[in-house]
Amino acid sequence: MPQSLPLFFLQLIYAISAFGLAAYGLQAFILTLLRLRADRLTAADSTIASGDCGGSSDDGKTDWPSVTVQLPVYNELHVVGRLIDACARIDYPPDRLQIQVLDDSDDDTTTLAMSRAAYWQRKGTDVQVVRRSSRRGYKAGALQEGLASTAGEFVAVFDADFAPRPGFLRRTIPVFLAPSGAEVGFVQTRWAHLNPAYSALTRAQALALDGHFVVEQAARNSTGLPFGFNGSAGVWRRACIEDAAVGGWQADTLCEDLDLSYRAQMAGWRGLYLDDVEAPAELPPQLLAFKRQQFRWAKGSVATLRKLGACIWQGSWPLYKRIAALVHLGGYLIHPLLLLLLLVSPVLILLGSQPFWPLAYLSLVSIGPPALYALAQHRLHPRDWPRRWAFLPILMLLGMGLSLSNSVAAFQALLGRTGAFLRTPKFRVETGERAFRPGGRATAGTWQRSGYALGLEPVVGGELFLAAYACAGCFVVAAGGHWWSLPFLALYAGGYSLVAFVGLYESWLARHGKKARGQSASRLFRAKNLVKS
């Protein structure tokens, strides 16, 4: 009995983890079927989204309400100019458009933002740089404080890595103005990509984001399931944000966007996702930056689940909606399950236990996730979707390799440790370019020479250990003839090795890039002094 009890618990952990991952695969399969069933979002919403609000852009000024475009930024030297310029070029009646740069920066970003704002002010565009005395509340705090000086009836939000197209507001605002739009609290549009072809990493990120928007968001929207605002490339009705039952922007999670959108829907407001309106954004070219982004998203979504889970379950939504909402908010919990499955599988085999081998493949051979990504690529790129979908193995390896970092994020959120808002650095790396652009101008060099390039964090030690652990597990299962477990453990070994060693390499490049930048600055300083003398 003393020996069988630990074995029983290991088998229980194994079974729970495997079935939890299978449930994730099932969710992806269901969403794929729902997206296939809905050829379009809804006929009414699609018609409205492509309309012109029944008036001329110049003559029918009364048809267009006032809109404030809020741009929360913090230390975004390379991209803030692109962001302001793109928003200033939005085609909307100038007397109804206000642009707020909510700048919490403590570097030269502020100088550049003020320069671009002054340029557009001279051209008649209302661009304001709003500064705070502290970063209290981070992005949520900046957005909430910005509302105090907001003139718009509607508020569009863009993060620093976006470059919205001129027609963005003319394709989103009419949704709110339609007879059926009185209860629409927010509109989310699809993220497109400025640099998907930069590397295999950006290809994999584009594949993941396309699947999320084209299939997951569209499926939830078309069936009336709750879904989340993605924090950027969307528009809010100001009355929804300020509704007492909603509570405004709140900073107690790191996903203030997801939190606010769920509170709004629980208060009776509707959200709409517009798949045919896209807003391009830059994908992180550095794996360590992508890793930080995923850590924040994982921590924020689980924190939102912790905050709102009980209210959702006890709320008035139908049971299927409540279940769908909880599964959605708990999506990043698959990473602790992946980690647990790795830890217990080799031990069970060493103890002579035969895990139910089909369980190891329930999530891996499920057609749900592969079909979801394939459908998204086919919808967006019908001619060459197989070439884009071929980066799925890279995405799978990244998912395995990030499971430790995202598990740490999930556990911190479950324990109520919100922590600081760690921004994802942007370098203005666009398709076919490997140069970042300080101050909005192209320079020689690569993103590794930017002061924003990230270094390693202690979690890399755990990733190296898990890579070695998975490799040892491969040896154990091969020596024991358990060939069915070998591909499963090899994915772990490859994923953790990829994340750890690419992270080490990138940090080495960044360190040498910063050293080279410092030497260049030192030579320039000496040259200037020599000229003066």
Catalytic positions, please? 104, 257
Other beta carbons within 10 Å of 416: 10
Give the residue ranges of DSSP H helices in 316-415. Answer: 319-329, 334-350, 357-361, 368-380, 385-389, 392-401, 403-414
d(CA 165, CA 173): 14
The answer to whether 240 touches 154, Cβ cutoff 8 Å, is no
Which residue is it, tokens 């008035």? 316
Q: How far apart are the first and last CA of the chain?
A: 87
Cα Dmax for the chain: 87
What contacts 326, CB < 8 A, 6 or more positions away? 305, 309, 312, 313
d(CA 392, CA 399): 10
The answer to whether 496 touches 429, Cβ cutoff 8 Å, is no
d(CA 297, CA 94): 35
d(CA 173, CA 156): 10
Rg of the chain taking only CA atoms, in angstroms: 24
Q: Which residues are bridge partners to 271 per DSSP? A: 186
d(CA 354, CA 367): 25
d(CA 112, CA 258): 30
d(CA 189, CA 412): 30
What are the φ/ψ torsions at residue 334 (nearest 5 degrees)? -65, -25
